[in-house]
Amino acid sequence: MKIAVIAHNGKKAEMVSFLLGNKKFLEGVDLVSTGTTGTHVEKAGLEVHKFLSGPLGGDAQIAALAAEKKLDMVVFFRDPLDKHPHEPDVQMLMRICDVHNIPLATNQATAELLINGIVAEG
């Protein structure tokens, strides 16, 4: 299983906490991430393949994986209360997930539901 994890700056700590809280589930999962989020994930002791930072093209790199159906899930903790100059990239990633039926969680509650659903199937 390959999961992309992305978090806006105001949500990076929440992403790390979420990943550490689901560490057992993540055993054997390939994590990929945008650059800055990936650095936070690495500092927490988890393995992750980092792409470019989101504003520099990382969102597009992850969208390309989704378009090629090389992702099983995207967890993108968005900060709805802040402005993001690369919002068109974010919208493109979300659209690609919808087009290719890739599960997308934009907050922790949805991410937990997705993981619980996978565990229940398993």
* pLDDT tier at 56, thresholds 50, 70, 90: very high
pLDDT in tens, 10-50: 999 999 999 999 999 999 999 999 999 999 999 999 999 99
Asked if 89 is an active-site residue, the reply is no
Catalytic, out of 30, 59, 79, 82: 59
In the prediction, which pLDDT does 26 show? 95
Closest CA to 30 of 11, 54, 51: 51
Residue given tokens 């945008």 in the structure block: 34
The structural domains of the chain, ordered by start, are 2-121 (3.40.50.1380)
Burial of 24 (0-12, 13-18, 19+ CB in 10 A): exposed
Query: Model-level pTM greater than 0.85?
Result: yes
39 residue type, one letter: T
**54 or 85, higher pLDDT:** 54
